[in-house]
Amino acid sequence: MIQPERIERLNDQPLRHRDYVLYWMQAAQRAEDNHALERTIEIANRRGKPALVCFSLTDHFPEANLRHYAFMLDGLRQTQAALRHRKIPFVVVQGAPEKNIIQLAERADAVVTDEGYLRIQRQWRTQIAAHIDCPFEEVTANLIVPIRTASDKENFSAGTLRPRITRHLDTFIKPLQPLTLKNNRLNPSWLNCIDLNDSSLLNRLRLDRSVAPSPFYRGGAKEAQKRLELFIRIKLARYAKDRNNPLLDCQSNLSPYLHFGHISPLTVALAVLNSNSDSEGKAAFLEELVVRRELSHNFVYYNTGYDDFDRALPPWALRTLNFHAKDKREYQYSLEQLETSETHDAAWNAAQSEMMLTGKMHNYMRMYWGKKILEWTATPRQGFEWALFLNNKYELDGRDPNGYAGVAWCFGKHDRAWNERPVFGKVRYMNAAGLKRKFDVAAYIRRIENLARQMK
């Protein structure tokens, strides 16, 4: 049984007696540890019906580009194979999700989907709920603790959310047993489906092609599992001490896979908890995976202005940044100069280049990167908008609650007031001297420069 706290009913339509139970796979693009998938099978088995899993591929997702789609399609191919192994029909159809799912719901007893908290994802669900005549359920599959169970409001900081999350961990960090679909006699031959193995698929999609696929990250559950196993085997024990040093490669690098739902945070949490690593490393990592990650989802869920400078930031940060908005900047750069790594700061340039080349910037450098954009742009509002633009364009885990919260943190979100200074006001400051105390900055710069030469 799926925990009832994970299930939210999105309409009040009655169950129908039709052809199948439909799972609209959207944010949890996997066959393993997927509560929405198991909920679909649970309903289908109870009614003696087949299940149909559908992914609706739109090439109009805001700010997504070729890099993001190449990674996503890697994962969808693996998901299709994994579902085929479980004898669960899976189809990919092209077009607007709200239109496709409304059409498929005409033959469904009920519809189940997984949760996604960005504006467009919520708009899709609202439209579908208003236009289908069978039950529509949303199931929490990408968080440890369901968002409304953890808190009924936006939380000021990790300090306020942590105890709310912690009290529920014993309830929700539990293995999810996969169900067998009893009736798999469904052949959706009437559908015009996409062949995920068609080599021309990416070329046929109308995508922003300005950012190339990452040569360092391939999508999919198998790749995510490899990275998880590597992290536990050789990095977890050092994580608490070394995670902020970009030269020591101590991070899990799972954020792109969590973003696309190629791996469940439950899978990751259970693997870490069941490992033989020291408790300090486990505690530090679970703080990031559960508390910090779910704080970002709390932000995006309860604050619909998560990408708006005036609504995303706390009042104290807005006041101090606006008060200092006209302060003289020692350095000021255009968006083009930032995007092409043409600043006076070699460490910042290296971080920007790392993101452009690989699709992922080290988390500690990401904080420094965002702080300097605040410092080097004409106004804090412009800095906020440009940081989001660059993050969403190049990061594989861009367009994600973590990304929106991470950029907002650089401008004061989920933080407290510090000593006042020019430009930053009371928002936390970071400088190059702080980097040098953490790691060998020159070595980091050389590494990224060598990487850039190798990729030419």
Residue 148's nearest CA partner among 321, 343, 4, 41 is: 4
Neighbours of 315 (CB within 10 A): 8
Q: Are residues 255 and 227 in the same domain?
A: yes
In a domain, 64, yes or no: yes
End-of-domain residue from the set 141, 160, 188? 141
Global pTM value: 0.98
Q: Is residue 427 within 8 Å of 374, Cβ to Cβ?
A: yes
Radius of gyration of the chain (CA): 22
Q: Are residues 170 and 234 in the same domain?
A: yes
Q: Are residues 375 and 235 in the same domain?
A: no
Distance CA 434, CA 298 (A): 30
In a domain, 6, yes or no: yes
CATH number of the domain residue 97 falls in: 3.40.50.620
In a domain, 192, yes or no: no
376-405 burial string, b = 16+ CB within 10 Å, else e?
bbebbbebbbbbbbbbbbbbbbbbbbbbbb
Q: Are residues 164 and 262 in the same domain?
A: yes
pLDDT at res. 279 = 87
Q: Are residues 118 and 22 in the same domain?
A: yes
In a domain, 402, yes or no: yes
**Low-confidence spans in the chain with pLDDT less than 50:** none
C-alpha separations of 14 from 5, 18, 109, 134 in Å: 21, 12, 9, 6
Residue 321's nearest CA partner among 248, 427, 419 is: 427
Q: Are residues 436 and 292 in the same domain?
A: no
pLDDT at res. 12 = 98
* E strands present in 83-236: 90-94, 108-114, 136-139
In a domain, 185, yes or no: no
Give me the sheet containing 136-139, strands edge to edge: 7-9, 136-139, 108-114, 20-24, 51-57, 90-94
pLDDT at res. 456 = 81
In a domain, 191, yes or no: no
Neighbours of 369 (CB within 10 A): 27
In a domain, 182, yes or no: no
Q: Find the domain containing 269 and state its range.
A: 143-175+221-302
- Tell me 397's DSSP state: T
Distance of CA 133 to the CA centre of its chain: 31
Q: Are residues 354 and 410 in the same domain?
A: yes
Q: Are residues 350 and 447 in the same domain?
A: yes
- Number of structural domains found in the chain: 3
CATH number of the domain residue 275 falls in: 1.25.40.80
Q: Is residue 26 within 8 Å of 121, Cβ to Cβ?
A: yes
Q: Are residues 160 and 292 in the same domain?
A: yes
Q: Are residues 274 and 319 in the same domain?
A: no
Q: Is residue 189 within 8 Å of 49, Cβ to Cβ?
A: no
pLDDT at res. 278 = 80
In a domain, 269, yes or no: yes
